[in-house]
């Protein structure tokens, strides 16, 4: 089988490629050059491309670099900026996977005559009794990446492989070391690749849209603080709100970029019985009854059931920032996904449109 392996320059994709070579497949490595600006947080830097190329040389396979900077800007960076402009919290890694790694790369693999594309994601692909292929959690729960792969259709999953999904990360590192791969001890990439640690999110956004200083108000509309940029404030945020100390902890419960207003409340105000979702999709038809719902890439799992317009939590939970992907699991298997919509707040009547997954 001819396999095109997406090699990010990290240990996971290196071992994924090594396993496919060992299994006797015709393997070619490909690194996606996505971001043309500065990067110091992994998967887009010049050093990562060099690491991927050296691993390919060590494994004796060809390596190519594919430039997708225009597509990355259009599908990931642009929507990221637009989401913040609208007061929405985006998921750039989800969009990158959907449009680039399992969109543009799959299309190129087809044109080049490859049978499948493989990546180093910590996730598995399972087929149900109905034959529909679904994403499932990887063996290493702490490194699981099934959340950021939500929305991949069964048709795409038919053409994808995750060779390390059944392995704990420690085993992957040991295997890389035994193979003499230079990336065996390389640190994992954790941050958004196009935002440098030196600049941070606010400076990145400030170069692309005007940031607006905002007023922080309590539930009665009384001013209690200031924020330097309302576009960077997130639901549930507690710090950086200019609030006086000594009071009961207060959290962001609503933002309104149109009026440059941030509303805060108590932890109890943050909790809701139902979380509306936009554009809910199912892997193979709606699932009735309680499911586990993950609300961020590294967030806790909550229990609730879809009631046709929102997730009804088994007990009140903190509201999810609009724009965040919410993923439904049955056991370890992804069965649905959607985008958090605003919880209507009687104090603001705010209604921010989320940036939808699948748009």
Report the SS3 class of residue 199.
coil
If one counts every other C-beta atom within 10 angstroms of the C-beta of residue 308, the result is 7
Confirm if 40 and 197 have CB atoms less than 8 A apart.
yes
Run of H or E including 106: helix 105-111
Q: Report how far residue 76's alpha carbon sits from residue 289's, in angstroms, rounded to the nearest whole number.
A: 34
Q: Which of 43, 44, 93, 96 is labelled catalytic?
A: 96
How far is 124 from 245, CA to CA, in rounded Å? 47
3-state helix, strand, coil in the chain (%, to 5): 25, 30, 45
Annotated catalytic residue 93: no
Closest Cα to residue 170, out of 29, 21, 15?
Answer: 15
How many beta carbons lie within 10 A of that of residue 349, not counting itself?
9
CB 182 within 8 A of CB 9: no
Instruction: Compute the Cα dihedral for 147, 152, 157, 160 and give only its sign.
Output: negative
CA distance 240 to 163: 42
Rounded to 5°, angle at Cα 155 from 154 and 161: 80
> Which are the catalytic amino acids?
96, 193
């Amino acid at each position: 089988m001819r396999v095109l392996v997406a090699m990010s320059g990290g240990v996971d994709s290196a071992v994924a490629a090594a396993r496919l070579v060992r299994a006797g497949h015709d393997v070619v490595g490909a690194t996606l050059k996505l971001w043309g600006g500065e990067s110091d947080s992994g998967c887009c830097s010049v050093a990562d491309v060099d690491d991927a190329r050296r691993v390919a040389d060590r494994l004796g396979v060809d390596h190519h670099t594919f430039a997708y900077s225009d597509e990355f800007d259009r599908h990931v960076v642009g929507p990221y900026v637009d989401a913040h402009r609208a007061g929405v919290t985006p998921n750039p890694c989800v969009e990158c996977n959907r449009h680039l790694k399992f969109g543009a790369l799959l299309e190129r693999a087809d044109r080049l005559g490859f049978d499948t594309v493989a990546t180093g994601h910590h996730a598995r692909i399972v087929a149900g009794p109905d034959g529909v292929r679904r994403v499932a959690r990887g063996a290493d729960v702490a490194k699981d990446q099934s959340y950021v792969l939500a929305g991949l259709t069964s048709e795409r999953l038919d053409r994808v492989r995750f060779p390390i999904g059944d392995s704990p990360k420690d085993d992957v590192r040991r295997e890389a070391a035994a193979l003499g791969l230079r990336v065996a001890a390389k640190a994992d990439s954790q941050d958004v690749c196009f935002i440098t640690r030196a600049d941070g999110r606010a400076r990145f956004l400030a170069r692309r849209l005007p940031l607006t200083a905002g007023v922080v108000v309590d539930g009665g509309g009384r001013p209690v603080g200031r924020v330097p940029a309302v576009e960077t404030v997130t639901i549930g945020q507690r710090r950086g709100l200019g609030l006086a100390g000594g009071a009961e902890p207060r959290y962001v419960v609503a933002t309104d970029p149109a009026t440059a207003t941030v509303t805060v409340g108590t932890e109890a105000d943050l909790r809701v019985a139902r979380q509306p979702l936009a554009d809910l999709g199912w892997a193979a038809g709606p699932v009735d009854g309680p499911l586990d719902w993950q609300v961020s890439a590294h967030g806790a799992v909550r229990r609730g059931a879809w009631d046709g317009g929102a997730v009804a939590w088994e007990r009140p939970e903190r509201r999810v920032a609009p724009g965040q992907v919410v993923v439904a699991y049955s056991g370890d298997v992804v069965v649905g996904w959607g985008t958090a919509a605003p919880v209507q707040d009687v104090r603001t009547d705010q209604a921010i449109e989320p940036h939808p997954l699948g748009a």
